[in-house]
Amino acid sequence: MKDVITIACGQFQPVFGDTTANLLKVKDFVEQAAANLIIFPELCASGYEFKGHRELQALALAPDSSEIRCLKEIARDFRTHIVLGLPERNSGKVYNSSILIEPSGKTTIYRKIHLFDREKRLFEPGNAEPSVVRTEIGRLGMMICFDWIFPEVVRILALKGAQIICHPANLVLQFCQRAMFARSVENGVFTATCNRVGAESRAGRTLNFTGASQILSNRGATLAQASDEKEEVIKAEIRPAEADNKMITTLNDVIGDRRIDYYKSLIV
């Protein structure tokens, strides 16, 4: 396990429907970042605003697709861990998913459990509790965009030992960027939110995405911050093991101090 690693966010504007162009951008940014871990936006393989199910099905990727194989090669060639959002086709259903690709070629999928707005009409919601992946650079958790507003998600990942939250996003407001401070501090974890930039005018409306991707420390410090509008890579050096120290005073463990006997209402 490495002591110090570099993590990055590759903030860009996907070209709707052009998976090849988007994966080339991913490769470009992986090379430019030269990081141990790089996070890309939600649905950045495809773009966001699908006109309907047919278009979504056409652009969805299966785990054994040539595109995923291509991403595995990139992760291997650059010895990096890649987290990236894609429409994932599986048994005829399409999920709003995030894939973690390790240099070894091992992949892990997380399927967004809290769908936002029109996504509810397009995607199958995720069907599993968020889980944590042990890698050679630390224990990683994934969530996607709107999952941020449910404190349960990062909490569950932290309880399962996550050190770094990998958070692909397509944010149209900047509420999330403001709130992630709380997620880092309340759980003592590193968070890396990678948002997209640019506008998408499709399906009769225009969405403007708000950039401002950010990497926060386990104590809530802003380690790196992208602009609102530019495509760019941001990076930070971190020690993932620092997230294992949950003591915020000599007497307070921000996880261990939880009073679960008095939290019963949370899941009824």
Q: Return the closest-CA partner of residue 109 out of 55, 62, 54, 56.
A: 62
Using the rule CB under 8 A, give the single segment among 20-28, 65-73, 75-83, 252-260 that binds its own copies: 252-260
List 2, 106, 134, 258, residue binding its own copies (CB under 8 A): 258
Q: Does the protein bind its own copies through residue 79 (CB under 8 A)?
A: no
3-state secondary structure of 208: strand
Cα–Cα distance, 18 to 58 (Å, whole number): 11
Q: Does the protein bind its own copies through residue 205 (CB under 8 A)?
A: no
42 is catalytic: yes
Cα–Cα distance, 71 to 110 (Å, whole number): 16
CA distances from 83 to 6, 11, 74, 245, 265 (A): 14, 12, 12, 25, 34
Q: Return the closest-CA partner of residue 8 out of 163, 176, 231, 192.
A: 192
- Selecting among 112, 119, 176, 194, the annotated active-site residue is 112
- Quick note: the x/- pattern for its own copies over 99-138, rule CB under 8 A, is --------------xx-xxx-xx---xx-xxx--------
Using the rule CB under 8 A, give the single segment among 45-53, 58-66, 161-169, 180-188 that binds its own copies: 180-188
Cα–Cα distance, 154 to 234 (Å, whole number): 22
Q: Least distance (Å) from its own copies to the CB of residue 16?
A: 21
Q: Least distance (Å) from its own copies to the CB of residue 65?
A: 27
Contacts of 242 (CB under 8 A, 6+ apart): 217, 218
Backbone torsions φ then ψ of 169, nearest 5 degrees: -145, 160
230 is catalytic: no
Q: How many angstroms separate the first and last alpha carbons of the chain?
A: 39
List 72, 139, 155, 196, residue binding its own copies (CB under 8 A): 155
112 is catalytic: yes
Q: Does the protein bind its own copies through residue 48 (CB under 8 A)?
A: no
Task: Summarize as ranges the residues that interact with its own copies (CB under 8 A).
Answer: 113-114, 116-118, 120-121, 125-126, 128-130, 146, 149-152, 155-156, 159-160, 175, 178-179, 181-183, 185-186, 220, 248-252, 254, 257-260, 262-268
Q: Which residues are catalytic?
A: 42, 112, 145
